[in-house]
Structure 1
């Protein structure tokens, strides 16, 4: 059986993309601007060994499958086809397809590409979410290359959801708007002390220092991030107000901060550790202080926090876990925070990812030279898939504002002044 015929049996004969394979067979819409290309028989080994998303990811990252044209468009069109129940082959049909592929694909095992994280290697650094293992997984994701991140993220070097006033807004203006939204929710004032946990490349502490005269400390487990941020702070003449340290948030001294921002860290700490996480931040705040927690969430509280064997955990965020917004709000509240505001920025993250994808495509050759084609492919696939995830409400992005009361005084205006 030729591969185009198998493709048609799995997704139907009217697939809205082009398909071609190494055996010369073709299928799909010949006029489509995107194409799925099976380059070598090794792709079938990967798909037989791990049917579904994992096998496809391995084959794509290793270069045995290609996507021509816009990755997001290809993924959206294929997902639309797969989601149609009428296109799902029966068990008997799947058995016939497996037989046509040949037994050799079942016995000739091929190793995953080197970009896939082996759980056994992580075990060597301690139990999940221990300090040593957290440092290992953060370095896996964030110490890829500062130069690579500059190509993808642009001048702001901000790897979290931006806030857009229109879909046409520039990424830089949207990232400024996000940092300023956080600053206004926290009611930053000159002379305050801000702690930004999981600070990345220091965008929030630099914004707080530059725009509000705040003394900001950012902490990150990525040494490359800390080194880059420290150099940028020096370049901008903000060293008297802002600093970034390479350290675990759990090691920051207690009780000396007026405000805390946590932008994109909660996803890394593990569901079981979230109560202690919020309790630790609570002790670091002065009475009357505020915490703004900004993180990716599950749409429902009853969904699992992680998929240990999923593509994201294997290739992008090892040990990553997502909670529902209600769970996070409850745990903040149980710690002692009074919840004063919460909002979902799901659509904004889809817009942010679109601009990151465009940056990567525009700088593709330079990115490949910097980190290698396999790693660049991981990012192309991961970010395009995340656009779909946010658009289709598979994941969300919530900001939750809590106050550590001074007695019964929250020091909040009668109506929010940041919406």
Structure 2
């Protein structure tokens, strides 16, 4: 009899590379490892058995029924880098299931209710008759569904994000100008690089789609003298940004609006920045999205699209179960080639394409450091489960970027009409 730990460990090919301990006292896996997983109780076992892989482990962890040993919950990176990519196991055959039921008890295979932090997928909404979703329950990326998804992720608490993101309040990949640059320096450098790529000049008009807390809007207005409009589906972000704009004396040239980008009536912009937005709109909506942006630009205007991408153009666009349920509901990622194709098919001329994968790994490390440093305040502002979700998500994503499973790309394009463009013969923004 190997006990619960031995049984669970046997599900993983070659066994877990860390220690696994269970509430029956059994221990398995690499017992010499400084890192470990501890199944605290029966419910933790049920989560793991009824949702094999990342989702079951995440449910148990968020609910407090699975503990991580040897690492801080605000930055479980040292443990995750050992197990990411090896947490899935095949469902047992009928014969194996019979053995497991006999060994672990039939109650172990009864699914517990998911933690309250979990954003239910579309089919669960439909079956449970959630009124707020209504007739749109089976349709992704409607105006209502997008608003709901953005609210789930970004309206956690502005104070929480201040602790995690730092003074820049920027929740997108930074660009590190040097090995010793701080996170704040790298975020400012990112905004400045985007401004230079867009060729911003005083008096021009900028639209920042999915503007977050207004970092790009304020940087472009303050340093480049443009009239900048940002839009976000997060009411909390819009409120914070409006206060920051007023505090910095930018009211006359900067605005952040609580609005769906599809409701922006203005047009004739000189430049558009889309930073961390494409991940939320759905791959099937790329043609409509980039066509909309194309129509909002003046002839010869520029577009900079900054987004997380897959490392190839073959993989399924859907995010993993944990990301979809706990972090970015309805989020979808595609390869950078898919982005370029959609941009070109919308009528743009692509001028430059750049990968910042390693920069995002460093950005995430900085956010995890901030979460650890402000752990008690973050838990007090939200709750232990929410804080653990963010630590797990950021550390796991860091591993994904380091392993080149996901990337971050800039695609710079112009609205070239009749072959006429003011874009220089050579790029001038590589400072």
How does the TM-score come out when normalised to structure 2? 0.90
Give the Cα separation in 2 of the matches to 1:95 and 1:297.
Answer: 42
Per-residue CA shift, 1:226-257, capped at 9, x if unaligned? 00000011111111221100011111124321
Which residue does 2:78 correspond to in 1?
73
Residues of 2 paired with 1:13 and 1:20: CA distance? Answer: 17
Indicate whether 1:124 and 2:134 are aligned: yes
Query: Any conservation in 1 of the 2:6–2:29 contact (CA below 8 Å)?
Result: no
1:413 matches 2:424: yes
Q: What is aligned with 2:37? A: 36
Residues 297, 415 of structure 2: 8 Å contact kept: yes
State the Cα distance separating 1:9 from its structure 2 match: 2.9
Note the C-alpha offset of 1:330. 1.2
Structure 2: segments with no counterpart, 5+ residues = none
Paired with 2:415 and 2:228, the residues of 1 have a C-alpha distance of 19
CA deviation map 1:93-137 (0-9, x unaligned): 776555422222124x31000111123147437231111111111
- Correspondence for 2:236: 224
Deviation at 1:156, TM superposition (A): 0.3
Asked whether 1:375 is paired with 2:377, we answer no
Question: Aligned ranges for residues 17-416 of structure 1 at < 5 Å?
Answer: 17-29=18-30, 32-68=33-69, 69-70=71-72, 71-79=76-84, 96-97=99-100, 99-107=102-110, 109-118=111-120, 119=122, 120=125, 121=130, 123-124=133-134, 126=136, 127-307=139-319, 310-416=321-427
5+ residue gaps, structure 1: none
Offset at residue 280 of structure 1 (A): 0.7
Q: How many residues align?
A: 414
Structure 1 window deviating more from structure 2 (96-105 vs 174-183): it is 96-105
Residue 296 of structure 1 and its aligned partner are, at CA, apart by: 0.9
Aligned partners of 1:90 and 1:104: how far apart in 2?
Answer: 17
**Cα distance in 2, alignment partners of residues 324 and 352 from structure 1:** 21
Mapped to 2, the partners of 1:90 and 1:250 lie a distance apart of: 47
> Please, what is the CA RMSD of the aligned residues?
2.3
Q: Deviations 1:333-367 (Å, cap 9, x if unpaired)?
A: 11111100001111111111111111112211111
Instruction: Provide the secondary structure at the position in 2 that maps to 1:352.
Output: helix
Structure 1 residue 20: Cα displacement: 2.6
- CA 1:37–1:397 in 2, change beyond 3 Å: closer, same or farther? same
CA displacement at 1:18 relative to structure 2:
3.4
1:167 touches 1:351 (CA, 8 Å); kept in 2? Answer: no
Query: How far 1:90 moved relative to its partner?
Result: 8.7
Encode CA deviations 1:139-178: one digit per residue, 9 max, x unaligned: 1111010011111111100000111133442110110111
CA distance in 2, matches of 1:321, 1:59: 25
SS at match of 1:355: helix
The 8 Å contact of residues 82 and 88 in structure 1, kept in 2 or not, is answered as no
Distance 1:133 1:375 in 2: 21
TM-score, L = length of structure 1? 0.92
**CA shift digits 1:257-277 (9 cap, x unpaired):** 100000011111111111111
* C-alpha distance in 1 between matches for 2:149 and 2:222: 31
Distance 2:376 2:165 in 1: 16
Provide the rounded CA distance (Å) in 1 between the counterparts of 2:424 and 2:335: 28
Measured after TM superposition, the shift of residue 27 of structure 1 is 4.0
Q: What is the alpha-carbon distance in structure 2 between the residues aligned to residue 300 and residue 171 of structure 1? A: 28
1:24 is paired with a residue of what secondary structure? Answer: coil
Report SS of the residue matched to 2:243. helix
